[in-house]
Structure formats: structure tokens, C-alpha cells
Structure 1
Amino acid sequence: MKRFAALYQELDRSTATLDKRAALVTYFRDAPPRDAAWALFLLAGGKITSARSKIAAVDEMRAWVADASNTPTWLVEASYDQVGDLAETLALLIPDPEHPAPERSLADWIEHVLVPVANSDEAQRREVIVSAWLGLPFDERLVFNKMLTGSLRVGVSQRMVQQALADMSGIPIARIAQRMMGTWAPSPEFLTKLLSDEELPEDRQQPYPFFLASPLEAEAHTLGEIDEWMLEWKWDGIRAQLIRRRGEVALWSRGEERLDGRFPEVEDAARALPVDCVLDGELLAWQGDADAPMPFSALQTRIQRLKPGPKWLAEAPVRMLVYDLLELNGEDLRELPQLERRQRLEALLRAHPDPRLSLSPIVRPADWNDAARLREESRARGVEGFMLKRASAPYQGGRRRGDWWKWKVDPLTIDAVLLYAQAGHGRRSTLYTDYTFGVWDEDTLVPVAKAYSGLDDKEILALDRWVRAHTRERFGPVRSVDAVQVFELGFEGVNISKRHKSGVAVRFPRILRWRHDKPAAEADRLDTLKAMAR
């Protein structure tokens, strides 16, 4: 644990990417394989505790630390409010031991101490956790608590970890990222396979790292001649890679989740192809010969069903609109220019037509002004705007600015009233930065959206002070506030939803501005929001 705690401190104190990467390389090179595997799991976002594997709940740890440190409960709460991070608060309240417990490795702590007590009775879990607190020095106690709370945020992205492993091993980062997609168990065996320079059988079913577009914030004409770009509609569905290798089919979402069985019509279409390939595209609910896809809410009814029955297959049939060909008959095509990949894709789907695998159409405006005019028709077409792809660009991994842009239609907007506030995470853990907003339903304000982005630092500090001074009630970490502050919210779309008390669900809400000029009585009404729904 001492080695991993030292790595955590080094990563936490450093602001330079190269320094962080160097620290990761040193750790993975020197750490025992079991420890390195668990460190990789944790730094990549993995958690050792979950709803199905309860080791220590937040309320339990607060009670345990109050007793173990002889601290009144109210002072524990006050300390947490001041520090803003529960793991650090717990570590600070326990004094360092005069005689630390014998050193255990990171893997031993997880595999032999914590995992064995998961879901056991409280007394047993409490004994294990408190004993660990009392025997660990501060740096190790802090990391221990970070593992328990699942908040091991230390300014390191999964890609940075993958780059460090690539630097250390010489294995291309694309291969490492590919092998880390999906669910994997931290073990020396997995680490060996991850860093193997041989092609493994499992590699055949792994997707390529997705190429992600950046939002276009400048004027489109600044990109140069429109003939250098390929324009496609930006679909509002599930980004996915459909893999057919050696006759086997796999379907992966951009979120690194296997979707096999959930969209059997798309998988059947891939099996019907006479060639192996990897397709990149968008899963959409689409009825027959309709001119536009069904709302995203229709697709959501399918996401939850591992094996949809005939009713769901009929009510929300799914197709894949394909826009890229990454591999054909075992040949990796990603280094080819976008235009050439597109031509090969068109030839493939033209030779084997199937409405379940449709080609995402290219839009050919005369110039950027014409493109802007067409973009304004996006919502009527059931799309979010345009994707702009440089015709000469290779297919890259991750978000690389310059070759793929998303030129989205201006957001829908409403004016809503701030109802609740909650402290943020990481650097914002001492400030109230997560907000819940409501609109009027007759004489009642009904919550309709949560947002935590859009305000600048000065506004965040001002709103934090206001929240603390105008709190009505507390519900754990959440405060209800006087319903007087109005904010303009932007969002991508609205869907009718039976799962929400308001009857609607907004997609990707964010704060556009603080409306100091508007009283709460003039905020928008629920009927206005429902009228925007598709």
C-alpha cells in the first residue's frame, strides 16, 4: 500500500502531464504484478465497492469515525462541510498510529481484507475498517478511504494511464485501449495479456477506440473550403461499433459496454454479410419507411432489455445508420483517408443492401451559408445538427481536435428556478455547484432538470454564498433553497417520460446564464416544456 499511496501523492501534487505520466511509468514498471493490476483498475475508474458489494456505507463511516476518534457527530459533519471530501475528512480525524501495522500490499488489502467482508454484518465490517484506520499512517489511510468511497480522483484520465503503459511496454496505445474496453478482472494474468505483443484470440471481438468529435465553436467558414469536408447529419442515438470477425458478431457501445442480444435485428444483419468488417455508426429506433427516426426515448425502451420480445421489436425496431468502415476482411482501414473509407463503405452496403444496416447519407450544401440554412432544419428532421469530417482525415482514437467536428443546432432553452443545491466533487467539493431546477405547474414548482456547468468561477462563488445564506432544509448533502433565483437553461431535446414526476426528461441540460433580471414568477411553465417534446 505504501508504494501506491506514494504514487497517489505524487499524482495529486503534480500539475504537469508529462510528470504524471512518468510517475505512472515508474510505478507500473516497479510494482509487483498483483499490485499493478489493481492500481490499473482503480486509476481507470474501477471501484471495489458497489450496491451489490457493500463494504462501508457513507453514513456508517461517519458514525464509525466519530466513535473511533472521540469526535461528536456534529463536529464530523462540520469537518466534512469544511474539507469537502469525505475520504480526506475521515483520514484527518484519525490520529497517526505510534506503531503502524505491518505493511500490506495494495492487492492484499483489497483481496484479503476488504473483499472478504463485503456484505457481511455491520459489526464485522466496522471492526475491519476501524482497525485499518488505526494502523495506517495518513497517506495510506487517505488512499484506503478513497478506495472505500470510490472517489479516487487524482487528475489522471484512463487515456493517460494507457499512454504510460504504452510508453513502458512499447505496445501501441490503440491496442492497449482496445484490450481495456469492457469488463475485466484485475489480475497478473490480465496485465500480461494487456501488454502482450502478440495478437490474442480475444482481440478479434474487441472494438477500436472510438474517434470523438469536438464541438465547433468558431464559424464554420473558418474551416476552409467546404469541398474539403464531408457533412453528415448528427444522429441522436447510441454510438456503436458492429464487429463481424470470422463469422462472430459483437456490438459495442461508445461507453465500452457489450450490447449483444439487445438489438438482435442489427446483429442478424451483420451475420448476413458475406465479409468480415467493423462498422462505426449510430443505433436508432426507426419505423419502416419513416422519414425520421423515433425519439431517443423510444430507443431507451430497448436499452433496458437484454433479450427484447416480439412486442418491443415491433414497437421500436432498431437499425444502424453506418458512417464509417474501420476494418474489411481483416485489413485495418483506419489510416486511410475519410473519403476512401467512405467509398469502400458505400461499395460494401450497396453490394449487400439491408435496411437494418443503412448508410448515413452525405449532405452536399453548395457552401457554408447553405449548410447553415440546412442546419436550422435539424430538429424537424429528428437530428442534432451536422457532423463535419475532413475528407483527408484518418480514423483516430479519442477526441482529437481538427478533423471531426460536431456542429450542433442551437439548444432549446427555458427559464427555470433554482430549487436544490449540492456540493460538487474534486476541486469543487467545498462549493455548492450541482443544482436542481424547476418550472411552474399551475402554482407549484416541479423539478425538471439538474445541471452543474455553465457558470464562471465568480458566479459559482457568489451562488455558493447565496445558497448557504438562503437554505430552507437539508436532506443529507442536499439543501433546498428559497425559490427566487432564475436561470436560463439550454438542452438538446425533451422527451415525454413516465419515469419522471414532471412527465418530461430533458437531455444534456446546462446553465446558459443567471437571470438576475427575472423574478421567479416569470419562469417558464411545464406546459411550455412539454410542447417542445418530440
Structure 2
Amino acid sequence: MKRFAELIQQLEMSNKTNDKIAALISYFSTADEKDKPYVIAMFTGKKPRRPVPTALIREWAVELSGIPAWLFAECYHSVGDLSETIALILPPPDHHTDRKLHEWITDLALLNGQSDAVKKEFIHQAWAGLSTPERFIFNKLISGNFRIGVSGKMLVNAIARQSNTESSKIMHSIMGKWSPDEITYQELVEGKHVNTDNSWPYPFCLAYALDAAPADLGEIRDWQAEWKWDGIRGQIVKRNGELFIWSRGEELITAQFPELHFLKDDLPDGTVIDGEILAVKDGNVQLFSILQQRLNRKTISKSQLRDVPVGFYVYDILEHEGNDIRKEDLASRRKKLEEVLARLSNQQTILLSPVIQFDNWEQLAELRETSRTNNSEGIMLKKLSSLYHSGRKRGDWWKWKINPYTVDAVMIYAQKGSGRRANHFTDYTFAVSDGEHLITIAKAYSGLTDNEIKEVDSFVRKNALEKFGPVRTVKPELVFEIAFEGIAVSKRHKAGLALRFPRIMRWRKDKKVTEINTLDDLRQLLASTYAAEKE
């Protein structure tokens, strides 16, 4: 328990991914072998049955602390986490109990079916022998609610490095069906309960941004043009009767998209296809903001399936009849892809990404300007002779995106960055005007030169008005042009809208705060975006 409590403290002390991965690697290298599977289970959302209701835990903590219920409520409101609040208000321990994490979890499971009196006695005895950090962990074990800022990818990367195992195999293994009390850490790492060879994806082939005129690429007959879709890049793997869906971020997302599960029967064994997961309704690709409603959900409701159906736009095939065909040219791969997709039963959900027909580069440039009418980001240009490379290879694949939307906004908050920017204010919050008030619309931290960062940092230090933890409120004087890819309705933001991929385009030293855009400007842009989508 003590070692796990130390891990949690280390994870919460830093917001840097590398620091967290280092802490996880250290833990899995030194922790008790029986504890490790339980930790992985907790971080991947495998919750045991809750042995004691939350209301009873709260009641017993108030009783033991001797403080009135109203004061506990105020403390809870201030701390914001019930497990931490209880750990902080309990009287100091009168002894120390040194037990392993898995032993505590096993004993808590045995409380199921016991009387409240037995449960209360066990909980009291546990609190009496644990330090405050250990009590916090113990309380979390009861609730099963671990939100410690460790993503699935971060956990997988840490285990992969610690065990010297491919991250894709680790992801497949921990996403499978297993129980921490029935499997060892080594068996979990080795994937004894699954066949990891069935699931592994290929490294994705990526594109460079086109930084020159397309005419410089040469003859148009050497190139294939497709729309650049704005969704979730993914690979669908079908081997030995099993289906797996991987994101470009190396996360196994099969369960999130049940609409694609028919491929387990339809797609031939030994097939891997590459494409984009998109929200597709009535044959039309929807905005990315709509697709977001389906992302990172453990369960998908019937209403979500109805309101935000997804499709998979396929644009490449990497494995055919069990053979790796990435070294074949794009033209050959495209023919095989068309043949495979033509045999599928549901061609409304699995769609072949269309090839754009054009006679010259000027015509393609005109077509590119219409990208937003089909909710794409621009055009992809792929050399017909290109192989499917791992990562980027300059000259073969290009992304030719349309120009972003822009808005002039004023900086009102600033926060220090991380890494080499830890000593400078580099994370900024921007606002537009709403009548006589300013209302925040985006955060951004990229787009300025090193000299501009130093200049803005100096301004923040001299013109800070208030301090809220690491955040500084500053005089609303610096105007910036903010670029973004899209705009959508959002109930999470005060402005009622959200910008997609906001970043600083340039510092508008030529503009005063009275010249920034208004919230109405953005609302009109939002209205025109939805009007164009309906057309």
C-alpha cells in the first residue's frame, strides 16, 4: 500500500508525460508481483464491486472525526474529492499497518454480504493504521474511482518500456478479458490470455504539409487526389476470426464503434485496412464536433448510435490474404482495396474514400476551396508509385489543407509552460468582446517566436492583475490573430461555442483591444457553417 501511495503522489506532482511514465516504470520494476495486476486493473477501469456504500463511509468518517456534518460538507466542497476529504479529517493513526495492496483489495472484497457493523469495524481498524496518503488510497479502493491522470496509452508505454515488449501487444493484452486475481504480471505482459499476433497493427504512413505550389509536384497523372477527412485515423485488423480497431495513437478502440463489428464476419482473414472513422449520417460526413460525442466512451447508448452513427472511409490496404503488401505501389494497393470492399455487405458504413478527378492543378485548387462543403480539411495528394512507409517520407504523400478560420482576440490570462518553457508565461487564454464584457473563447500556446515569447512574458509580469494558482489575469491589451479549423456549439464553455485546434497565427501589434472580434461574429460564423452543412 505504501509503495502504491508513493506512486500516486509522484503522478499527481507532475503534469509532464515523461515524468509520469518514469514513475510508472519505477513502480512496475519494484512493486510486489501480486500488486501489479491490480494496479493495471484500476488504471484501466476494471472496477470491483463496491463493498461499502458511499453514504456509510461518509457517516463513519464524520462520526470518527468528531466534526459536525455541515463542516464536513464545507471541507468536501473545498477539497473536491470525497476520498481525500475523509483522509484529511480523520484523527492521526495510533499504529501502522504494513500490508500489500492486493491484501487490502482481497479483504475489502470479503466485506460483501457482511453486516454494516462488521464493515464499520474493519474500516475503522484500517483507518487507524494508515497514514493520510495511504488512507486516501484505501478510500479510493472502496469507491473504485481512480482518476489519476494516467491515460491508457501512457500506462501501455510505461509497461512496454519496463518489460521491453511491443506497446501494441501490451494494449491488446490489457484490453482483453482478465481478472487481477487470476493472472500474474508476467502473464499479462506476455499476453498469455490472448493471441497478440492476431491484433498488432502496422505503423501509420503519414504526410507532410504541402509548402509549395502543387504544380511543382510534376505531372498530374503521377498523383492520386483524395479529400483530407477530419476524423479519427484508424486501422481495422481482421486475423484468425478476430476483429481489432486501432487508432493512430496506438489505442485499441474496437468496443467504441459497434457499427463496424460486422466486419468480423464480412472482412476476410488476413486483412488490414487504413482509413478514417467519421460521423456519417444519411451518406454525409458530419463535423468533427459531432463525432466527439462518441469518443472515449466505455458504453454506447442506443440514442448515441442513432444520433451519431459512424462510418469508416477506407483509403488503403496494408495486408491482403495474410500478406504484407505495403511494398506494393499505391496503384496496385488501390485495386486490391476496391476488390475487397466490393464484397462487403454493408457499403453504407464502410466506404471507399473517393478519388478526386481533375484535369489540371488549377482545377484541383478550385475544388480544394470547396472542401468545407463536405466537412473535409482539404486535399491529400499521394504519388501513385508510393509505397506504404512507416511514418513520413518527404515527396510521396502531401496534405494540402484549406486556409483556417481566423479571429482577432485579446489575451486575458497567462500561465507558465513546461519543459524548456517552464520559466516563461507561454500558455495563454484569449477572449472576444460581448458588449461591454470580454468572454473567453480559446486557449493556445503555439505560434510565437522565442523573442515574442520573451516579450509577452515581460508584459505579463509587469501587468498581472490577479493570481489564481499558476494563472495570472493580465491587462487586456495584447491582440492576437487566432487560427482555428472549425467551430461548434459547446455547453462546456461560457461562450457557448468551441474552436477546433486553436493556435496563434500572429501578434497583431497594429490593433487595439477595441478592434477585436465580437462573440456575435463567431456566432454568425457558426450559423454559416451549419447552413453550409445543411446545403
Which bracket does the TM-score occupy, shorter chain normalised? 0.5 to 0.7
Whole-angstrom CA distance in 2 between matches of 1:34 and 1:509? 40
Question: Is 1:231–1:363's contact at 8 Å kept on the other side of the alignment?
Answer: yes
The residue identity in structure 1 corresponding to 2:239 is R
Q: CA RMSD in A?
A: 4.4
Q: Which residue of 1 aligns with 2:441?
A: 448
Quickly say closer, same or farther: Cα 1:336–1:125, change in 2 above 3 A: farther
Match of residue 296, structure 1, among 288, 292, 295: 288
Q: Which residue of 2 aligns with 1:266?
A: 260
3-state DSSP class of the match of 1:335? coil
Q: Which residue of 1 aligns with 2:111?
A: none
Question: Is 1:215–1:406's contact at 8 Å kept on the other side of the alignment?
Answer: yes
Quickly say closer, same or farther: Cα 1:192–1:439, change in 2 above 3 A: closer
Whole-angstrom CA distance in 2 between matches of 1:358 and 1:121? 61
Question: Is 2:358–2:364's contact at 8 Å kept on the other side of the alignment?
Answer: yes
Match of residue 228, structure 2, among 225, 230, 234: 234
Residue 124 of structure 1 pairs with residue 138 of structure 2? no
Highest Rg: 1 or 2? 2
The residue identity in structure 2 corresponding to 1:440 is S
Q: Which residue of 2 aligns with 1:349?
A: 341
Question: Is 1:496–1:530's contact at 8 Å kept on the other side of the alignment?
Answer: no
Quickly say closer, same or farther: Cα 1:183–1:436, change in 2 above 3 A: farther
The residue identity in structure 1 corresponding to 2:232 is I
Quickly say closer, same or farther: Cα 1:206–1:127, change in 2 above 3 A: closer
TM-superposed CA distance for 1:294, in Å, is 1.4
Whole-angstrom CA distance in 1 between matches of 2:166 and 2:45? 29
3-state DSSP class of the match of 2:358? coil
Residue 436 of structure 1 pairs with residue 429 of structure 2? yes
The residue identity in structure 1 corresponding to 2:186 is E
Whole-angstrom CA distance in 2 between matches of 1:183 and 1:511? 41
Whole-angstrom CA distance in 1 between matches of 2:326 and 2:479? 48
Q: Which residue of 2 aligns with 1:504?
A: 497
Same amino acid, percent of matched pairs: 42
Query: Which ranges in structure 2 are unaligned for 5 or more consecutive residues?
Result: 1-24, 48-99, 106-125, 136-147, 151-155, 176-183, 530-535
Question: Is 1:423–1:433's contact at 8 Å kept on the other side of the alignment?
Answer: yes
- Tell me the TM-score normalized by structure 1: 0.66
Quickly say closer, same or farther: Cα 1:192–1:259, change in 2 above 3 A: closer
Residue 372 of structure 1 pairs with residue 365 of structure 2? yes
Residue 216 of structure 1 pairs with residue 206 of structure 2? no
TM-superposed CA distance for 1:188, in Å, is 8.0
TM-superposed CA distance for 1:415, in Å, is 0.2
Match of residue 281, structure 1, among 258, 270, 275: 275
3-state DSSP class of the match of 1:487? strand
Whole-angstrom CA distance in 1 between matches of 2:45 and 2:458? 34
Quickly say closer, same or farther: Cα 1:255–1:468, change in 2 above 3 A: same
Matched ranges for 1:58-97 at <5 A: none
Whole-angstrom CA distance in 2 between matches of 1:482 and 1:370? 48
Match of residue 250, structure 1, among 244, 247, 251: 244
TM-superposed CA distance for 1:309, in Å, is 2.8
Matched ranges for 1:470-485 at <5 A: 470-485=463-478
3-state DSSP class of the match of 1:532? helix
Q: Which residue of 2 aligns with 1:487?
A: 480
- Tell me the TM-score normalized by structure 2: 0.66
Q: Deviations over 1:249-302 (max 9, x none)?
A: 11121122222232211122443335441111111111123xx31111221112
Whole-angstrom CA distance in 1 between matches of 2:423 and 2:200? 40
Query: Which ranges in structure 1 are unaligned for 5 or more consecutive residues?
Result: 1-27, 54-109, 129-147, 151-157, 170-174
Whole-angstrom CA distance in 2 between matches of 1:487 and 1:120? 53
TM-superposed CA distance for 1:440, in Å, is 1.3
TM-superposed CA distance for 1:50, in Å, is 11
The residue identity in structure 1 corresponding to 2:298 is L
The residue identity in structure 2 corresponding to 1:179 is K
TM-superposed CA distance for 1:398, in Å, is 2.6
Question: Is 1:232–1:363's contact at 8 Å kept on the other side of the alignment?
Answer: yes
Matched ranges for 1:310-349 at <5 A: 310-349=302-341
Whole-angstrom CA distance in 1 between matches of 2:463 and 2:489? 33
Whole-angstrom CA distance in 1 between matches of 2:360 and 2:439? 45
Question: Is 1:182–1:256's contact at 8 Å kept on the other side of the alignment?
Answer: no
Q: Which residue of 1 aligns with 2:169?
A: 179
Quickly say closer, same or farther: Cα 1:347–1:495, change in 2 above 3 A: same
Quickly say closer, same or farther: Cα 1:192–1:523, change in 2 above 3 A: closer
Residue 391 of structure 1 pairs with residue 384 of structure 2? yes
Quickly say closer, same or farther: Cα 1:204–1:371, change in 2 above 3 A: same
3-state DSSP class of the match of 1:484? coil
Question: Is 2:269–2:322's contact at 8 Å kept on the other side of the alignment?
Answer: no
TM-superposed CA distance for 1:429, in Å, is 0.5
The residue identity in structure 1 corresponding to 2:492 is R
Whole-angstrom CA distance in 2 between matches of 1:502 and 1:120? 45
Q: Which residue of 2 aligns with 1:61?
A: none
Quickly say closer, same or farther: Cα 1:183–1:352, change in 2 above 3 A: closer
Quickly say closer, same or farther: Cα 1:252–1:458, change in 2 above 3 A: same
Question: Is 1:489–1:511's contact at 8 Å kept on the other side of the alignment?
Answer: yes
Whole-angstrom CA distance in 1 between matches of 2:30 and 2:386? 40
Q: How many residues align?
A: 409
More displaced, 319-328 or 253-262?
253-262
TM-superposed CA distance for 1:192, in Å, is 8.0
Whole-angstrom CA distance in 2 between matches of 1:374 and 1:272? 35
Q: Which residue of 2 aligns with 1:136?
A: none
Question: Is 1:181–1:206's contact at 8 Å kept on the other side of the alignment?
Answer: no
3-state DSSP class of the match of 1:369? helix
Q: Which residue of 2 aligns with 1:461?
A: 454
3-state DSSP class of the match of 2:262? helix
Whole-angstrom CA distance in 2 between matches of 1:224 and 1:498? 47
Q: Deviations over 1:65-115 (max 9, x none)?
A: xxxxxxxxxxxxxxxxxxxxxxxxxxxxxxxxxxxxxxxxxxxxx999xx9
Question: Is 1:34–1:188's contact at 8 Å kept on the other side of the alignment?
Answer: no
3-state DSSP class of the match of 2:285? coil
Question: Is 2:207–2:392's contact at 8 Å kept on the other side of the alignment?
Answer: yes
Quickly say closer, same or farther: Cα 1:127–1:237, change in 2 above 3 A: closer
TM-superposed CA distance for 1:52, in Å, is 12
